[in-house]
Amino acid sequence: MQTAGAVCALLNRVRPLRCPSEERTLYCSMPLFGKRRAPHVPRPADYADYRDVVGRLTAPVLNLCHFAIQSQDNPAFPCRDFLSNLHRETARLQELIDSHGAQTNELWFPFRETVAAAKNFAVVTYDVLHIRQSIERYRLLELEDEFKQKTDIVIAAFKDALLTVSESIIAQSRLCGVHPDEVSVDFQPCLADPLLYRLPTDRAVRHIDRIGDQVVYLATQFLNLSEDLDVKDVLSERDTDSYDECIPHPISEERMRIVEARFHNLQSLYDTYIFESDLEQQNEHLPYLRGHISIIYHLLSVGTDLVHYFIRHMSSLRRDTYQESQFPIEPERLRDLVFEYPLQYAREYMESAVQLCQTMIQTYTESAEIDVPIPNYRGFHVRPSTLVARIVLHYGSAVTMYLGEEHYDASSPLDLFRANEAINATKRRRIGEMLSKRTELQVSLPENYDELVRELQLLFVRLMNEGLVVMYDTDLSFGDLQVENDPTIGDLAARYVRHFMSIAKMDIKSDITVRFIGDSRALKDLKILAENGYGEDRMGNNIVLPDELSYLSR
């Protein structure tokens, strides 16, 4: 029977670790008990040994590169099988040479860059092929013929890029001494005739009862995403002359990945709650929405990889030594492709899907109406109007605000600003009527200037104490007091109330209300917003909104 010390010694023995990239057994000493020591992984014995290991992983890549050159006249080239193999083998090779310092070595860096280029263009070409083959299956609005033609042009450009990078890898492998004397090309050729067979659709589907809730929720999520600042900035239409100024700002790799991930999440949302249900049979618009979400996501995936390659390998950040190598595609051509293929068509398909989503929401929207007070501080100025509009846009349906006989588009802050003219006119009229009814104010103005100022100061203090006005500036010195054709104290006070309102020094409290009519979901949140002062206290300071409106802070 083994003692505890013997077991401990057994567990602390040197253990072999398999390194898949070098296909050899390495060893490190890692005690499982007591103080841990840093593992020691020895490098290959010498440079010849290193080149031998690299050569073994380069051989499959060279096999594919020679196949590409031999297949350049094959209309079925490049095919998915070739691209997936090229990506796998170049990824293994790049991982190996990077781990041994190829990025900082004058000789090996050009080889490393050509391998990285092959890996990158294998991915983007695979994605574009997927897009081309999916156009027939996706239900897309308009653009299809034009989009097919542009996709074919892009595939042809990437085919040339793959041939260029294949030749470059062969040349660089010879410079680094890892190209064998003979290369056997045993990769199976790409088939010219794709298999068109499709399995029958015979699985049972889930039943969904509340179709309206699901459709409206999904369409609303798409509309919210179309209004996202990152999405709008990345997909904005730009002039050709401005392309140079847009990469890497605002079209950065980071922002591209963020936007791509958001559309990927939306696709996952659809597949989780809608796919494999009878909802698509109940609403004919849903398959079109799924097609647009998917095509936008795949286009953004292509755009992200191209922007990554352009910034990392073609911009001023790249190493000077790569100037000795040949780019798979000219930098200006690649830059133009970014804006004129993935970004352009992602934008156009998003815009057409926005109209689709608005139609879907209107079909299932439950209309309602609410009466709420106007904002406490200066009516519908910037912050309240913006919050109201963002709530309406969040739900993607029409909401109208009514003030008397006038109506305003609640999704437009600028349109809501117009309501302030009517609100302020009503306030001025009401304060004037109130002052004219006070008999103690219907007296002539004092001839003494100081006495007149004193009377006005006392009057404004009384108005504040009675809760009729709100002073945002407590300076009541009336240093600019001018008496015009004001027969009474009441007339003079009314004129100065209007003056102080115009310079945002004062506001008049009122019970003015507005009516919102439209989507019940949006109206529910608008009522919460109004109950919380439209995000402001009576002095115009921002306040924290409740959790139900947390999306407004994003």
Q: Which of 143, 103, 492 is nearest to 317 (CA)?
A: 103
Exposed, middle or buried: residue 155 (CB in 10 Å: 0-12, 13-18, 19+)? middle
DSSP letters for 455-477: HHHHHHHHHHHTTSEEES-----
Cβ neighbours of residue 56 closer than 8 Å, sequence gap 6 or more: 23
Cβ neighbours of residue 216 closer than 8 Å, sequence gap 6 or more: 360, 361, 364, 365, 521
Q: Which of 306, 232, 294, 226 is nearest to 264 (CA)?
A: 294
Q: What is the pLDDT of residue 148?
A: 93
136: which 2 tokens? 């027939």
Rounded to whole angstroms, how far apart are CA atoms 160 and 163? 5
Cβ neighbours of residue 368 closer than 8 Å, sequence gap 6 or more: 517, 518, 519, 520, 523
Q: Lowest mean pLDDT of 35-44, 172-181, 425-434, 452-461, name the range.
A: 35-44
- Domain range 208-364, CATH class: mainly alpha
Residue 363: CB atoms within 10 A of its CB come to 13
pLDDT tens digits for range 136-166: 888 887 777 899 999 999 999 999 999 999 9
Residue 223: CB atoms within 10 A of its CB come to 20
Say if CB 260 and CB 300 are below 8 A apart: yes
Q: Lowest mean pLDDT of 26-35, 89-98, 520-529, name the range.
A: 26-35
Domain residue ranges in the chain = 1-41, 43-188, 208-364, 370-554
Q: What are phi and psi of 317, to 5 degrees?
A: -80, -15
Judged by DSSP in three states, 429 sits in helix
Return the bridge partners of 206, or none. 277
Exposed, middle or buried: residue 426 (CB in 10 Å: 0-12, 13-18, 19+)? middle
pLDDT tens digits for range 100-139: 999 999 899 999 999 999 999 999 999 999 999 998 888 8
pLDDT tens digits for range 235-258: 999 999 999 899 999 999 999 999
* pLDDT band at 320; cut points 50, 70, 90: low
Amino acid at 225: L
Q: What is the mean pLDDT of residues 278-307?
A: 92
**pLDDT at position 344 over 90:** yes
Alpha carbons within 13 angstroms on the beta-carbon side of residue 154 total 30
Q: What is the pLDDT of residue 537?
A: 85
**pLDDT at position 347 over 90:** yes
Distance from CA of residue 444 to its chain's centroid? Answer: 66
Residue 11: CB atoms within 10 A of its CB come to 11
Task: State the chain's mean pLDDT as an integer.
Answer: 85
Amino acid at 543: I
How large is the C-alpha radius of gyration of the chain? 35
147: which 2 tokens? 């989009």
Q: What is the pLDDT of residue 492?
A: 83
Q: What is the mean pLDDT of residues 172-188?
A: 88
Say if CB 175 and CB 111 are below 8 A apart: yes
- Entry pTM: 0.74
Q: What is the pLDDT of residue 318?
A: 61
15: which 2 tokens? 């253990």
141: which 2 tokens? 């609005």
Residue 135: CB atoms within 10 A of its CB come to 16
Rounded to whole angstroms, how far apart are CA atoms 434 and 148? 71
Rounded to whole angstroms, how far apart are CA atoms 103 and 111? 9
Given the structure tokens 């003219």, which residue do they identify?
A: 421
Q: What are phi and psi of 328, to 5 degrees?
A: -60, -30
Rounded to whole angstroms, how far apart are CA atoms 263 and 201? 27
pLDDT tens digits for range 11-45: 333 333 333 333 333 323 333 333 444 444 445 45
Q: What are phi and psi of 26, to 5 degrees?
A: -110, 160
